[in-house]
């Protein structure tokens, strides 16, 4: 494994971990952050992402996060796809659409561990994005004080995180969350935490695999070719920022570091 400590300067200063075993490295960083947060403040507010990269990380957490953590763990999502569904609450996870980010986390992790469903806060309980954004915003403020302590983010080849896409007006919204109606990544309708909320998270773990993200990540890391303006580069976190990349996704960053 290669670990590149945060660059001395530049807007985005992640510690970059390049390893074939992204699930274990990301899982260990998340578990450590969750345990330290609980020890420090008695609870941990965790935001999860969807997509393909988090699934094996959820499987690692299912096996390895200490059971004692679940009594102080609050879980929500960095974003959620707004899809036809009519669950009555998060625990009704099989009533969510198969493409739902909540359902993914339950299938791979939460359905198999003793998490109290009262501490699981879904972004969407129906297909009405406007209603659900207002409902979740109230719940996020009341139950989690509108803050995230630890965030697991994936990143798209265009540099989007959650449902915050490059050059999209949603990047300039400083509410807690918002609806996105024109996501370039289907489905078009989504609800997302805002950039300021993600940027304030004390610990941020961005996980990425695949060669199709190598150039974008290199530009975001070096702050060149517009990379400094990408959503992934604008989530700096409030303390610990980690990028966990497989060798394909980290190829350009590693090559640049070796050539120095
Ligand atoms: C979603 C995710 C999205 C995802 C990226 C990366 O709802 O799809 O929240 O932001 O994290 O698109 O997806 P992959 O991990 O599948 O590359």
Which three-class secondary structure state does DSSP give residue 243? Answer: strand
CA of 207 to the centre of ligand 1 (A): 10
Rounded CA-CA distance 80/192 in Å is 6
Task: Using alpha carbons, select from 76, 29, 37, 86 the residue that is nearest to residue 243.
Answer: 29
Atom 2 (ligand 1) nearest CA: 50
Supply the pLDDT for residue 259: 85
Supply the pLDDT for residue 10: 58
Question: Which run of H or of E encompasses 190?
Answer: strand 190-193
53 lines ligand 1 (CB under 6 A): yes
Residue with tokens 């965030």, as numbered in its chain: 151
Is 205 in contact with 29 (CB distance < 8 Å)? yes
108 lines ligand 1 (CB under 6 A): no
pLDDT digits (tens, 9 = 90+) for 82-120: 999 888 888 999 999 999 999 999 999 999 999 999 999
Q: How far does Cα 253 stand from its chain's mean position? A: 21
Mutate to test the pocket of ligand 1, among 23, 100, 156, 160 (most ligand atoms within 8 A of CB): 156
Supply the pLDDT for residue 86: 81
212 lines ligand 1 (CB under 6 A): no
For the chain, the farthest-separated pair of C-alpha atoms sits apart, in whole angstroms, at 55
Residue 113 is given by DSSP the state S
CA of 154 to the centre of ligand 1 (A): 5
Is 75 in contact with 108 (CB distance < 8 Å)? no
Which tokens sit at 24?
A: 């274990």
| Whole-angstrom Cα Rg for the chain | 17
Rounded CA-CA distance 80/83 in Å is 9
Q: Is 63 exposed, middle or buried (0-12, 13-18, 19+ CB in 10 A)?
A: exposed
Rounded CA-CA distance 124/223 in Å is 34
CATH class of 2-7+21-259: alpha beta
CA of 208 to the centre of ligand 1 (A): 9
Supply the pLDDT for residue 116: 96
Average pLDDT over residues 203-210: 98
Q: Is the pLDDT of residue 174 over 80?
A: yes
CA of 189 to the centre of ligand 1 (A): 14
Average pLDDT over residues 110-135: 96
Mutate to test the pocket of ligand 1, among 51, 123, 246 (most ligand atoms within 8 A of CB): 51
Atom 15 (ligand 1) nearest CA: 53
Supply the pLDDT for residue 143: 97
Q: Spell out the domain ranges in the chain.
A: 2-7+21-259
Supply the pLDDT for residue 9: 60
Supply the pLDDT for residue 12: 67
Give the number of the atom of ligand 1 that is nearest the alpha carbon of residue 78: 9
Which three-class secondary structure state does DSSP give residue 233? Answer: helix
Give the number of the atom of ligand 1 that is nearest the alpha carbon of residue 162: 10
Residue with tokens 């096996």, as numbered in its chain: 63
Q: Say what the pTM is.
A: 0.96
């Amino acid at each position: 494994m290669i670990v590149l400590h945060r660059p001395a300067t530049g807007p985005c200063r992640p510690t970059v971990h390049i390893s074939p075993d992204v699930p274990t490295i990301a899982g260990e960083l998340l578990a450590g952050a969750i345990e330290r947060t609980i020890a420090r403040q008695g609870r941990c507010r965790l935001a999860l992402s969807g997509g393909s990269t988090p699934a094996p990380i959820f499987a690692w957490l299912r096996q390895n996060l200490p059971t004692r953590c679940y009594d102080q763990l609050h879980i929500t999502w960095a974003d959620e796809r707004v899809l036809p569904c009519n669950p009555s609450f998060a625990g009704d996870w099989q009533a969510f659409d198969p493409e739902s980010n909540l359902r993914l986390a339950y299938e791979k992790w939460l359905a198999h561990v003793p998490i109290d469903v009262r501490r699981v806060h879904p972004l969407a309980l129906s297909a009405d994005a406007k209603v659900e954004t207002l409902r979740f915003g109230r719940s996020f403020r009341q139950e989690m004080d509108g803050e995230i302590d630890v965030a697991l983010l994936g990143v798209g080849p265009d540099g989007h995180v959650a449902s915050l896409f490059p050059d999209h007006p949603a990047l300039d919204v400083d509410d807690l969350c918002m609806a996105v109606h024109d996501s370039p990544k289907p489905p078009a309708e989504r609800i997302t935490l805002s950039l300021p909320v993600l940027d304030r998270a004390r610990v941020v773990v961005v996980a990425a695999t695949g060669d199709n993200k190598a150039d974008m990540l290199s530009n975001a890391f070096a702050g060149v070719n517009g990379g400094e303006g990408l959503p992934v580069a604008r989530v700096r976190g409030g303390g610990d920022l980690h990028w966990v990349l497989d060798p394909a996704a980290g190829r350009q960053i590693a090559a640049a570091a070796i050539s120095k």
